[in-house]
Structure 1
């Protein structure tokens, strides 16, 4: 999935704003700390879709910015 535009699709196919906070992407593996802005329902729809693509999703509660 490293070559797939997963973050682009989250912003394009769902009503979400994405913000890459941190990342380390290599040719064969990668990780991203991604901030998502949108309704709780739309965020859940996007996360469900990402999970179904085979991408591992680990929510990070300590890195949440509310405002």
Structure 2
């Protein structure tokens, strides 16, 4: 990854039931040049949430957030 626009962002993700079993975090790490870190998570059969750290180029982080939103994941940026 290039160091010129590197940044870190933490997001709170809320997953719909149909995505609980999908490898969303894996896909983000492979489809975008973003390093992911799971800080907290609670995943059950019908619902789940993750506090996820994203590190990388600003544009790649934004693309990964838009990708998650397009899948139906609620994304809230944390301070």
TM-score (norm 1): 0.89
5+ long unaligned stretches in structure 2 = 1-18
1:12, 1:27 → 2: CA distance?
Answer: 25
SS in 2 for 1:23: strand
Give yes or no for the alignment of 1:30 onto 2:51: no
Structure 1: segments with no counterpart, 5+ residues:
62-67
1:19-66 deviation per Cα after TM superposition (whole angstroms, max 9, x unaligned): 0000000011000000001011000000000000000000001xxxxx
Q: How does 1:17-56 map to 2 (within 5 A)?
A: 17-56=35-74
Pairwise CA RMSD: 0.5
- Misfit runs of 4+, over 4 Å: none
Q: Which has the higher strand share?
A: 2
Q: Which has the higher helix share?
A: 1
